[in-house]
Structure formats: structure tokens, C-alpha cells
Amino acid sequence: MRDHGLPFKSAHGIASRLIAARARDGKRPLSELLADASRDVLGSPLEYSEAQLTEILSPRHFVNVRKTPGGPAPEETARAAKASRQQLEADESWWTNATNALADAERKLADRSASL
């Protein structure tokens, strides 16, 4: 349904009818149930083969098509991991510099105090 640019409400209506039909008749091919459900909602059927539906409904496909920021697609998780590593490196660098600056300031303070 994602490929057809359907509004959420229509897609949800089809999905709802499809699930109900599958519960009533678990032996009928999913492609037929989808065609009927989509015909009820859209006036014309969405036609997919059983193989296409198997792919579309697979966990791998589910992950791969979710490419939005923060999504689980491999490209997105790689981007997010890289950004996180870069931020960690920047934070570690800041922490090291800040710690060194504080230690240096403490040494200077101790030296000045000792000279009084």
C-alpha cells in the first residue's frame, strides 16, 4: 500500500478488513483477501502475488523500507551510529581538554599559593 500512495485512513481501512477476513478464512490466499479488502475501500483491487506479499510482509522488508531519521533501515542505523561515534569523539576531546585545563589551573594555583 506504501507503493500506491494511499492516504493513511484508506490503508488502515484495507488493513483492518484484511485482518478480519484472514481471521474468518485463514486458508484463502492473502492476495485474494487483499484484493477484496482493497476493492471494498478503494473501489478497485490492489493486486499482489503471494510472493510479493510474502516479501512485503517480511521482517527484513519492514526494516529496510523504514529509512526515516531514527528508523531501523541499515543505511539509517549506519548514519546514526557514525554520527554518534563522531559526537562521542568530540565529547571525549572536550572532556580531555577540560580536564587538562582544570589540572593546569590547579597546578598554577598551587604554585602561586606556594609563592605567597
| pLDDT tens track, the chain, 116 positions | 567 789 999 999 999 999 999 999 999 999 999 999 999 999 999 999 999 999 999 999 999 988 999 999 999 999 999 999 999 999 999 999 999 999 999 999 999 999 98
Exposed / middle / buried, residue 15 (Cβ in 10 Å: 0-12, 13-18, 19+):
middle
DSSP 23-80: HH-TTS-HHHHHHHHHHHHHSS-----HHHHHHHTSHHHHHHT--STT--SHHHHHHH
CA geometry: angle 81, 86, 92, nearest 5 deg: 120
Prediction pTM value: 0.62
